[in-house]
């Protein structure tokens, strides 16, 4: 017996694609949603999910997805991203606006649109993929940490507002995850700067590690809510404290 429809945003790559793959294996009817139709088609051919082209910054796009569903048991708010690493004194309005629109308002739009169906399912689950950046700060990261703190606050507030309703609210906060695009997007396509983020780190997390955590949390019995799961590689003690090795180190 299937577990119902699961919508995963930002599903064209990285954590989103890995989560869609894992949820299909767990028995969900997955709707993989993202902007890039070609990537979605490749994913669907690989894992047998449904797809929907989605831009979480567009209310019309979100409404179209919601209206295409006759039910929904699980929403994974994964779409997001970091843009730039400038200090506050040099911050770009456009970068901050983009981070808020994708991370914060995107999560708001999706959650608001699918909440009636999640409640109606009798055991709905809302997962928001935030970041350890939502639980701390670091130089140059004010725009992203502010956005992720806002997502964290939204998740905690939603849980209060839905108390007594048949919906679980879960936050997954990854630390350093080596995916193909996150840092590359942050640095505007500068591959060398993106590679430097993970240089020498023994065993950064990979997308499947986060997908595994999401799958565990959402498949608990209906009375069990995993409020928050913070997940970091062993090499990362904090955002600013990461163990790195050089060639020849023991």
pLDDT in tens, the chain (250 residues): 589 999 999 999 999 999 999 999 999 999 999 999 999 999 999 999 999 999 999 999 999 999 999 999 999 999 999 999 999 999 999 999 999 999 999 999 999 999 999 999 999 999 999 999 999 999 999 999 999 999 999 999 999 999 999 999 999 999 999 877 565 566 576 677 767 777 889 989 999 999 999 999 999 999 999 999 999 999 999 888 999 998 555 4
- 26 burial via Cβ count (<10 Å: 0-12, 13-18, 19+): middle
Number of Cβ within a 10 Å radius of residue 105: 16
Alpha-carbon span 10 to 124, nearest angstrom: 20
* CATH fit for domain 5-238, picks 1.10.8.60, 3.40.50.720, 3.40.630.10, 3.20.20.70: 3.40.50.720
pTM: 0.93
Annotated active-site residue 138? The verdict is no
Which whole-number Å values give the CA distances from 161 to 25, 50, 108, 165, 169, in the listed order? 32, 31, 14, 9, 10
Catalytic residue among 28, 100, 138, 144: 144
């Amino acid at each position: 017996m299937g577990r119902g429809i699961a919508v995963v945003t930002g599903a064209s790559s990285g954590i989103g694609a890995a989560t869609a793959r894992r949820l299909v294996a767990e028995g969900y009817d997955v709707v993989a949603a993202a902007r890039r139709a070609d990537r979605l088609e490749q994913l669907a051919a690989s894992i047998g999910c449904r797809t929907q082209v989605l831009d979480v910054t567009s209310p019309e796009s979100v409404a179209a997805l919601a209206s295409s569903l006759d039910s929904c048991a699980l929403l994974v708010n994964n779409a997001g991203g970091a843009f730039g690493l400038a200090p506050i004194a040099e911050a770009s309005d456009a970068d901050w606006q983009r981070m808020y629109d994708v991370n914060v308002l995107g999560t708001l739009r999706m959650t608001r649109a699918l909440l009636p169906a999640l409640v109606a399912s009798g055991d709905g689950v809302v997962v928001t993929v935030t970041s350890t950046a939502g639980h701390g700060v670091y130089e140059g990261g004010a725009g992203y940490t502010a956005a992720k703190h806002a997502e964290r606050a939204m998740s905690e507030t939603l849980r209060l507002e839905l108390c007594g309703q048949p919906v679980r609210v879960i936050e997954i906060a990854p630390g350093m995850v080596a995916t193909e695009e996150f840092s590359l997007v942050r640095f505007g396509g500068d591959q060398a700067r993106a590679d430097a983020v993970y240089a020498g780190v023994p065993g950064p997390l990979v997308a499947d590690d986060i997908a595994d955590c999401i799958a565990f949390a959402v498949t608990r019995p209906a009375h069990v809510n995993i409020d928050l799961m913070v997940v970091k590689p062993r090499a990362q003690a904090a955002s600013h404290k990461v163990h790195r090795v050089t060639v020849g180190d023991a």
